[in-house]
Amino acid sequence: MPVNPLELSFLEELRLVLTVQNSVISKASARLDVLDQRVMDPVSQLKDLKALAKSLEEIECQSDYLQLADLDEAGLSDEQLHMIFQKREQHYTDSIHTTRYTSWSGFVRDSIAYCAQDGIEELLPWDSFLAEADFARIKSESYSSQYRWDKWDYSFVGLAGVLGALTDIFLVKIPKTMTAGQYAGQKGSPITETLRKIKFPDSMQNWLERVSKVPYDHTGGGDHRIDTFGHDPVLGFIIGVLDIMRGGVSSIKGGKIAIEAGGAQIIGNPLEALLRQFLHMCSDVATSKGLPVPFASMFRSLRVGNFVGPTGRKHSISSLTGWMYHYGYDLRHFLTMSITPATIEIVLRAYLMLRHFAEHGEVSFTLAKNPKYRSMLLSAHAIACATNAGKVALQQGNPLAINYAEWLALLRYLIPSLKYWIFDRKGLELEHLEAINDSGWNEILLSSDALLTKLYRRDLKMISIG
């Protein structure tokens, strides 16, 4: 956009005026600081006042002995005494510069004259008004400095990421030991194996199966649970409840979503349908096949991808998801996989909480909305995910080694971070600058009030009445 010459000229004149004002205020502040130091030294003042009082007493005692001839002997005439008084008065008058505003052009000319008299550069850059302390304060108050990492932040992000990676390698492993095929010999997770041994008592299992019959159960083969949305640990509480209420089935057939009316009993009460859904999930969770991982039914419906799978044939995401569920990649192994993100969250959140308390004296803070804390958690999870990718590669590309829970945790922080980087950062920077400007203007008003008060008290003429 072209710059208006008149606006440019006015800005140059404004810079000149502000330079003069800055010089005048600096001189006044310096003199007032000296005056403040003197005023704050009552001991020396008391001594000076006592000495002055003693001198006055001596003069008053000897005033009767003074005559006009004594002044003549000193060689001081009335004119000379008047000149001495005028010189002293002029000395104090010259120490105070007053620029009266009559018009803008005249004000600018007076400012130019002041700059020429005091040897001040007429068009100083703005940063010439700032001291080193001002530069340090500006740097510390900048938006980026509020969220800059220090050595402790880097250390704990690395520590949390490495600890999470170690749990993935040595605890999570794969769902169960592979005994055949190209992955034979790869060890399964001891934690998942322990979870598989947990069963409900037979009486309780039979009761759960009897009272939680649903229309979408037994709609396929042994792996039918991954092909029905009702068995999904998350989507099941939405789609599964709707299927129960309408007596129908929402499933995956041939890689496509199929919604069937069905002829099962219709349950119109939403709370009863929700309770039956919960009880049915409980009846399936501890069986040999268990429940699929969250959102597995969505992956089961994706007939995309054309890559070589574990069997050596071409696979899509849909068929690969079914193969993984068949070999134990279920909700119990998902709980085992959750150890990795849980380790990162515990270590890093504990550090952030203690750090925040040490710096601000309070524990209550919103972690997800703080860009620095969110970026630290994102980085720690990124370290664990990168390690998990290496783990899959070292295990001959076995998809069972994928830590699904950890990748979900990374996605949880990545999406808000992308939104912040693309949309929110500029707006938050402007809000931060506006808050600093508001605070700065308040400080300027308070400082100017204090300065004017000191000038008023110093230059106020005392009037004695009576």
For residues 164 and 410, what is the distance between their CA atoms, to the nearest angstrom?
A: 12
What pLDDT is stored for residue 437 in this prediction?
63
pLDDT-derived band at 465 (thresholds 50, 70, 90) equals very low
Q: Residue 253 forms beta bridges with which residues?
A: 256
User: Does residue 18 carry a pLDDT above 80?
Assistant: no
Q: Residue 228 forms beta bridges with which residues?
A: 251
What pLDDT is stored for residue 189 in this prediction?
96
Mean pLDDT for the stretch of residues 245-254:
88
What pLDDT is stored for residue 455 in this prediction?
58
Give percent of the chain above pLDDT 70.
73
Mean pLDDT for the stretch of residues 381-404:
96
For residues 165 and 347, what is the distance between their CA atoms, to the nearest angstrom?
A: 13
User: Does residue 127 carry a pLDDT above 70?
Assistant: no
What pLDDT is stored for residue 463 in this prediction?
47
Q: Which of 155-159, 162-166, 362-366, 419-423 has the lowest mean pLDDT?
A: 362-366
The predicted-structure confidence for 340-354, as pLDDT tens digits, reads as follows 999 999 999 999 989
pLDDT-derived band at 441 (thresholds 50, 70, 90) equals low
Q: Which of 151-165, 226-240, 437-451 has the lowest mean pLDDT?
A: 437-451
User: What is the phi/psi pair of residue 70, to 5°?
Assistant: -65, -35
User: Does residue 301 carry a pLDDT above 80?
Assistant: yes
What pLDDT is stored for residue 64 in this prediction?
62
For residues 199 and 210, what is the distance between their CA atoms, to the nearest angstrom?
A: 17
User: Does residue 9 carry a pLDDT above 60?
Assistant: yes
User: 3-state DSSP helix/strand/coil percent for the chain, to nearest 5?
Assistant: 70, 5, 30
pLDDT-derived band at 123 (thresholds 50, 70, 90) equals low
What pLDDT is stored for residue 466 in this prediction?
42
User: Does residue 330 carry a pLDDT above 50?
Assistant: yes
- The overall average pLDDT reported for the chain is 81
How far apart, in Å, do the first and last CA atoms of the chain sit? 69
What pLDDT is stored for residue 139 in this prediction?
66
- Higher-confidence residue of 344 and 416: namely 344
For residues 100 and 125, what is the distance between their CA atoms, to the nearest angstrom?
A: 25
Task: Look at the alpha carbons of 378, 384, 387, 392 in this order and tell me if their dihedral is positive or negative.
Answer: negative
User: Does residue 236 carry a pLDDT above 90?
Assistant: yes
User: Does residue 443 carry a pLDDT above 70?
Assistant: no
User: Does residue 464 carry a pLDDT above 50?
Assistant: no
Q: Could you tell me where the beta strands, DSSP code E, fall in 187-344? A: 249-253, 256-260, 307-308, 314-315
- Name 409's Cβ contacts closer than 8 Å, sequence gap at least 6: 341, 344, 345, 381
For residues 172 and 333, what is the distance between their CA atoms, to the nearest angstrom?
A: 8
User: Does residue 201 carry a pLDDT above 90?
Assistant: yes
Give percent of the chain above pLDDT 90.
40
What pLDDT is stored for residue 138 in this prediction?
63
Our separate counts of H helices and E strands in the chain read 19, 4
